[in-house]
Amino acid sequence: MARRALGPAAPAPVALRWRPALAWVVLALALAGCAPRPSPWSGPASGLRILATAHIAPGTEWGGSPFGGISGIDQDPRSGDYLLISDDRAVHGPARVYALRLHLDPERGQARPEITGMRSLQAPDGQPFAPARRARPGVDVPDAEAVRWLPGAQRFLWTSEGDFARGFGPQLRVAHADGRHLRRIPLPPSFVPSAGAGPRRNGSLEGLALAPDGRTAWLAMELPWLQDGPPASAAAPGAPVRFTAIDVGSGEPLRQIAYQPDAASQPRRLPLGPELNGVSEILADGPHHLLVLERAYSTGRGFSARLYRIDTRKGSDTRGLAALQPGNHHPPPKELVADFTGLGVPVDNLEGMAWGPALPGGGCLLVLVSDDNFNPAQRTQFIAAQYRPPGGGHGSCGTTGGSP
């Protein structure tokens, strides 16, 4: 049953905590796969173990629109609530973000997500983004994929993969907490798609990581640029994908590295359909490291995911390379944190990743979320996990300042 958001139009004192006026207006959320106890650690040094899982049922509605398409997540450290962004291209509802509270009981292996608000994302002209059938001249139809709060501000960064059919490449924007447009951050000219070069349609700005000091953003492509080679398949890992560090204030590129994804984890079972692996999200792990989420899909077999950790200071700077070729660059080494296949949790289409608080037993809470593609056969899956950084302890949980 649809629920109408009854909160005020202006931002609440705490970012994105918009409450319905009636206490009983709460969505019925279906919980699934709640483990009776945490899973074993995935590795001896740094690793991951699952604390709890949950999902929001397909067809759940909030604010007059179906809930779904969740492609990015980030936590507001002041309120503890999570900011979710939907990749709905104004088809099922407006381009939008949600506020969500995750009630977690790791001792019992239980998690309960509670949607607490929704806001439309606004275009530079102050209006909500229009769908493709009613697109306004000079305004793109966004394909939102990632979101990050800016430190100490009621503002967030968000990315769009682009509106290639209408001549708009990938976009990086800053919005107020209530979804109002603040500014667009210019991206390097190499991000503009052209004949045979630049990002692939539906394979561009998938991942966004913000350095703890808030001054540097890492932008991750999902798939290789056209001139760099083919995407991964089950037979081969394909070409590297580019991660670019930019200055948030100016958009100036600071560094770029070539990340090498794995081959798809298994061949497709059917003769036709996708067989892909790419980068679906990145997350800053202190000032010089990134967690990299690789998400694979093979037709007839489903989804799989692996989590890696890299040092952004390692690997060659590829900003000056028109095309990546063997021998002209060195990817940064990858450290496997977890292969979700070995953790006993069937994964859906994992696309979002965010820090939670430090945990009493050491390590950090890591929250992952999936994009259900508004497909009734899929679901919005939440995974709450304990992340143990190299050397043990609490780790940075994304709070240590620094630069790329």
- pLDDT exceeds cutoff 50 at 91: yes
- Average pLDDT (229-252) is 96
Q: What is the pLDDT of residue 399?
A: 56
Q: What is the pLDDT of residues 44-57, one digit of tens each?
A: 566 899 999 999 99
Q: What is the pLDDT of residues 24-48, one digit of tens each?
A: 223 333 333 444 466 777 765 668 9
- Burial (CB count <10 Å: 0-12, 13-18, 19+), residue 210: buried
DSSP string, 213-270: TSSEEEEEESS--GGG-PPP-SS---S-EEEEEEETTT--EEEEEEE-PPPPSS--SS
Q: What is the pLDDT of residue 46?
A: 64
> Over pLDDT 90: what percentage of the chain?
77
- pLDDT exceeds cutoff 50 at 362: yes
pTM reported for the whole predicted model: 0.89
Contacts with 63 (C-beta within 8 Å, 6 or more apart), sequence order: 2, 3, 4, 5, 93, 96, 118
Contacts with 137 (C-beta within 8 Å, 6 or more apart), sequence order: none
- Average pLDDT (336-358) is 94
Specify whether the CB–CB gap between 297 and 325 falls below 8 A. no
- pLDDT exceeds cutoff 80 at 372: yes
Q: What is the pLDDT of residue 272?
A: 85
User: What is the C-alpha to C-alpha distance for residues 315 and 247, in angstroms, rounded to an integer?
Assistant: 20
- Average pLDDT (220-226) is 98
Q: What is the pLDDT of residues 301-321, one digit of tens each?
A: 999 999 999 999 999 999 999
- pLDDT exceeds cutoff 80 at 14: no
CA-based nearest residue to 90, from 130, 150, 33: 130
Q: What is the pLDDT of residue 273?
A: 87
Residue 394 — very low, low, confident or very high, per pLDDT cuts 50/70/90? very low
> In the chain, what are the domains?
47-388 (2.115.10)
User: What is the C-alpha to C-alpha distance for residues 102 and 113, in angstroms, rounded to an integer?
Assistant: 4
